[in-house]
Amino acid sequence: MKNKQFSNGRIHGSRFEEAVYHDGYLAFSVSPFDQDFENEIEDGVLPHVKVLTTKGYCPISSCHGHYEHGKWMPWYVMIALGDNAVKQKQIILDVIKNIPGIYTETRKQSANVVDGKTVFDKVDLDKEYEELNKMFLRKNTTWEYLYISLFQHRTLYNKIAKLLFFTHSKNRLFYALERLPDEHIN
pLDDT the model gives residue 71: 72
pLDDT the model gives residue 172: 98
pLDDT band at 111 (very low <50, low <70, confident <90, very high): low
The pairing of strands 4-5 and 102-107 is unpaired
Neighbours of 180 (CB within 10 A): 19
Distance CA 171, CA 150 (A): 11
pLDDT the model gives residue 107: 87
Element (H, E) at 125: helix 125-136
pLDDT score of 14 more than 90: no
Distance CA 81, CA 59 (A): 9
Do 154 and 72 form a contact (C-beta atoms < 8 A)?
A: yes
Query: Average pLDDT, stretch 49-57?
Result: 96
pTM more than 0.85: yes
pLDDT band at 68 (very low <50, low <70, confident <90, very high): confident
Residue 42 CA, chain-centre distance (Å), reads: 11
> Per mean pLDDT, which range of 58-67, 85-94, 170-179 is the poorest?
58-67
Distance CA 184, CA 53 (A): 10
